[in-house]
Structure 1
Amino acid sequence: MEPNSDKKHVWHSNHLWEEELLLLKFIIDKTELEETIKWGGPVYVYNKKNVIGIGGFKDYFTIWFYNGVFLKDEKKKLINAQEDKTKSLRQWRFTSKDDVNEKEILEYIAEAIENEKQGKIIKPSKKEAIISELLQKEMNQNPALAEAFQKFSPYKQYEFLEYIETAKQEKTKLTRIEKVIPMILGNVGLNDKYR
């Protein structure tokens, strides 16, 4: 999620580090990860899950570890680019080819893949269930709506309910319900357009 929050700037310096990024690619190609392109930069996936990404910035080029928080990081290479925002993403920054130690990088990637295989991810904290009586009423009258709602993941159901129920006044709740009904029927999550 994080790397694309300001798409325009994130990968703009790839051309500055062309050779260096090719070197990283050459190293990563020795692993079992598959290369894809997301957010305009190479992202390497295992079982369709993002494991690492690479990119160039103005002052450095980097490997992102999507679940880097779980890496032991014995060599103290990883940084959290945005302390308060980023829970799991970690970056390993390089400023020249000399910084690139293939053996170390492969060790970190192997650990990241192993973590992915074990399904180590930060679980969203358990949230209190929200009940929306007004939406429930709509669903009772409209079985197609109820059925469509059930197709969403619990997380997305929660987003809809939270959106409706955070409104103070019933009037606002009703306008919000009107807004989300077509989305629910169209199988569009509340925040899909931002994802």
Structure 2
Amino acid sequence: MSEKKVWDKTNQWTEELETLKSIIEKTNLVETTKWGTAVYTHNNKNIIGIGGFKSYFGLWFFNGVFLKDDKNLLVNAQKGKTKSQRQMRFQSKEEIDEKTILSYIKEAIAIEDKGLSIKPEKQNFHSEALENELEANPELKKAFLLFTKYKQNEFIEYIATAKQEKTKLARLEKIKPMILANIGLNDKYR
């Protein structure tokens, strides 16, 4: 069996993370490794993750926004960006309260059983640079239109998400030979 990993950016929370894992093991959650760390699932749905960072260690609840949080322990790590995930942070082993953690986990499982979740907002990207290039180059446009809508959108998003104009143009130059060769942007990962 392969070794399970725990996200510990600074390797300073080994004992604390083991304590959290021992609490989680008292539940019926299944440990998996995703994104290089331990993630615990219920019915193949992500419930919690675990990890250590520079100034804290803790748990993150994938649908934490739905938890009651009567004890006011949950933090939104990226206000305005993170919609449903919430973190329970600790700075010492003494802060870990097994009973409280187990009650939050139990509630998180119940939330999953109810099917509560926030669906990610679909973003529609637009690339004027790509549009102009397709209009100026009929061969490129013909090749681009052979791709599925999904793959076309990957190319559009790749260019549109660049912050600087020079990066957008560099990305456009990079994908032109791919389009002509009928190679999708992320084909090598599929």
Band of TM-score, shorter chain:
0.5 to 0.7
1:101 and 2:92 are equivalent in the alignment: no
In the TM superposition, 1:122-141 aligns within 5 A as 122-125=119-122, 127=124, 134=134, 141=142
Decide whether the 8 Å contact of 1:13 with 1:57 is kept in 2.
Answer: yes
TM-score normalized with structure 1 length: 0.63
Cα distance in structure 1, aligned partners of 2:29 and 2:181: 35
Question: Deviations for 1:76-134, whole angstroms, at most 9, x for unmatched residues?
Answer: 1001223244333221112233322222212212222333340513331564899x694
Query: Superposed, which structure 2 residues align to 1:32-111 within 5 Å?
Result: 32-111=28-107
| Sequence identity (%) | 49
- C-alpha separation between the residues in 2 aligned to 1:122 and 1:33? 23
Aligned Cα root-mean-square deviation (Å): 4.0
Q: Is 1:24 matched up with 2:23?
A: no
Which runs of no fewer than 5 residues in structure 2 stay unpaired? 1-6
Q: Which residue of 2 aligns with 1:6?
A: none
* Cα distance in 2, alignment partners of residues 110 and 22 from structure 1: 20
Offset, 1:13: 2.9
- Gaps (5+ residues) in structure 1? 1-9
TM-score by length of 2: 0.64
> Which residue of 147, 154, 160 maps to 2:155?
160
Distance 2:90 2:161 in 1: 44
**Match for residue 148 of structure 2?**
149
Asked if the contact 1:164/1:176 (under 8 Å) is kept, the reply is no
Alpha-carbon displacement from aligned partner over 1:40-95 (angstroms, at most 9, x marks no partner): 43222334443211112343221112232222212110012232443332211122
